[in-house]
Structure 1
Amino acid sequence: MSDREGPSGPPGDDDLSLPKATVAKMISELLPPDVSCAKETRDLIIECCVEFIHLISSEANEICEQESKKTIAPEHIITALERLGFDTFKEEVQDVLKDHKQQVKHEREKKVSKFEQSGLTEEELLEQQQALFAASREKFQSQQQA
């Protein structure tokens, strides 16, 4: 049972939502400056989004199970969009996925190991480590004698 499930099974729809501030920001960015959105309208949009996510997730899960997989992959989402008649989203989703993969790859390339960051050779680092161990042993022994 997941941490979101209740004692009788999966969470109810009341437990699932999207961040209201984020949705409100997205709505305001899409609307012309002189148009506002009522709270009830924002709440309805959130409910529609949650339902859409449920629909796509359920279909992707079925596709995943049919392929005997245990993890829903991006390709399962794209296939689910096609099966449910949301073909118009397919290209945009593929573009977002491609951008995401490039961003992850770029972030991995940016990460530099602590060894590389030190600017020291392996031998120099080993000498520093040995000196730290010796100092620690010396400190420990002096505390034991006291």
Structure 2
Amino acid sequence: MSDREGHSTAPPTDDDLSLPKATVAKMITELLPPDVVCAKDTRDLVIECCVEFIHLISSEANDICEKESKKTIAPEHIISALKTLGFDSFIAEVEDVLKDHKQQQKDREKKVSKFEQSGMTEEELLAMQERLFADSRARYESGKP
């Protein structure tokens, strides 16, 4: 099966699933001491291990989700899967990342609501910004604070 441009639209197989090689290589480089390098084969093996780990956790979280008659895997299902599979040592860090993620979402929502609270369109805000820049530039060029 393919779409109009000729790309495959069939569900991906395990062979199709991977992680970005450049991103993984960068992460490995950042974690290793400066005098240690990682072979390409090793990087590829790390990627395969990561994909397998994701499959394992996702599958277990899905089982937990189904037992609770839920249709969406929630973060709590992932944490339960980690516990069930014996990855208890990961849970504190996962919970910290989840907490940070939720805070970032709240911060983004605050920014959106400030825009909405302004009562101005994006064009009006842009025009105001341009006026403020022009006023500031004029004060700077005249030497007056």
**Range into which the TM-score falls when normalised by the shorter chain:** 0.7 to 0.9
TM-score (norm 1): 0.73
For residues 87-106 of structure 1, the aligned pairs below 5 Å read 87-106=88-107
AA in 2 matched with 1:78: I
Residue ranges of structure 2 left out of the alignment (5+ in a row): 122-145
For 1:106 and 1:69, the matched residues in 2 are separated by 28
Q: Deviations over 1:18-42 (max 9, x none)?
A: 0000000000000011110000000
Could you say which residue in structure 2 is the equivalent of 1:107? 108
- The share of aligned pairs that are identical, in percent, is 73
User: How large is the Cα RMSD of the aligned pairs?
Assistant: 2.0
Could you say which residue in structure 2 is the equivalent of 1:45? 46
Residue ranges of structure 1 left out of the alignment (5+ in a row): 120-146
For 1:5 and 1:67, the matched residues in 2 are separated by 31
- State the shift of 1:13 in Å: 1.5
Q: Structure 1 residue runs of 4+, over 4 Å off? A: none
Paired residue total: 114
In 2 relative to 1, CA 55–5 (structure 1 residues): closer, same or farther, beyond 3 Å? farther
For residues 64-103 of structure 1, the aligned pairs below 5 Å read 64-103=65-104
